[in-house]
Amino acid sequence: MTGKIKCMKDLGIFAPLSPQEKLKVTELAKGISFRKGEVIFSEGDLADTIYLVRSGRVLLYKISEEGKEISLDILREDDIFGENTIFEDVHHTMNAKVLDETFVCTCTRDDFPLLLQNPLTALEIIKSLGNKLNNYTEQMASMAFRDVKGRVLDTLARLAKEYGQETPKGIKINISLNHQDLANLVNASRVMVTNSLSHLKQEGKVAVYKRYFYLLHSPLLKKEANYV
């Protein structure tokens, strides 16, 4: 029970609840740990559980007909996925695996409406999923309008918004990300991403210190990349 309370009460979406309401909510929760690389669900599996990321990172991806892994999203603490669970008799349309040691809280389809009974919680969930949709729309627009260098910059700017930490050097993107990870996110080859990063470093927009990406403070950068 103590593990369950710690799991649900610390999630951002339940922040508006009173301690008594959080206690009710914990009874609906089940916490699960995953080791790095473990698969949470696969495409085609029955969708009957909603997941909330408590810590760690989860990759949503599909495998193309050619056998290539296509990244769709990287989820972090407080993100929700498996939301299609609210429909009956549906199956997952993508795969989910963990990128780091990850702890998720789960809720069954039958219990999910009970979570929605508190309007503040329902609104937080709606807000979270709405932001996710905006995020995907921005990504698609970036792919439609921007070249690889522009997409790399847009992706780093988006990651800075989600994982950014202000430092004297610039905004540190506080997740471990290699060139291949970035290539998967921007839909380009690793070689093109490496070349683009080289240009961006020369232009003074991006830096790498101790294997973390930094967006450097620049008035031009704020105008060019889609972040505030």
Partner 1 sequence: MYDLKLDDLHHQKVLSRLAKELDTARWALYEIKRNSEKGKIIKVIIYLVSSESKLDKGTWHFDIRWLTDQLVNTGFDKNEVS
Q: Is 191 in the site for partner 1 (CB under 8 A)?
A: no
Smallest separation, CB 110 to partner 1 (Å): 14
Residue 67 CB contacts under 8 Å (≥ 6 apart), including other chains: none
Q: At what angle do helices 119-145 and 148-163 cross, to 10 degrees?
A: 160
Of the listed pieces 27-35, 70-78, 173-181, 202-210, which binds partner 1 according to CB under 8 A? Answer: 70-78
Q: Is 68 in the site for partner 1 (CB under 8 A)?
A: yes
> What are the DSSP calls for 67-132, one per residue?
S-EEEEEEE-TT-EE-GGGGSTT-B-SSEEEESSSEEEEEEETTTHHHHHTSHHHHHHHHHHHHHH
Question: Which one among 129, 148, 175, 207 touches partner 1, defined by CB under 8 A?
Answer: 129
Q: Is 28 in the site for partner 1 (CB under 8 A)?
A: no
Smallest separation, CB 91 to partner 1 (Å): 11
- The helix/strand/coil state of 218 is coil
Q: Total number of residues binding partner 1 (CB under 8 A)?
A: 35
Q: Is 176 in the site for partner 1 (CB under 8 A)?
A: no
Nearest in space to 4 (alpha carbons), one of 24, 40, 22, 31: 31
Positions touching partner 1 (CB under 8 A) are 60, 62, 64, 68, 70-73, 83-84, 86-87, 93-94, 113, 116-117, 119, 122-123, 125-126, 129-130, 132-133, 136-137, 139-141, 143-145, 187
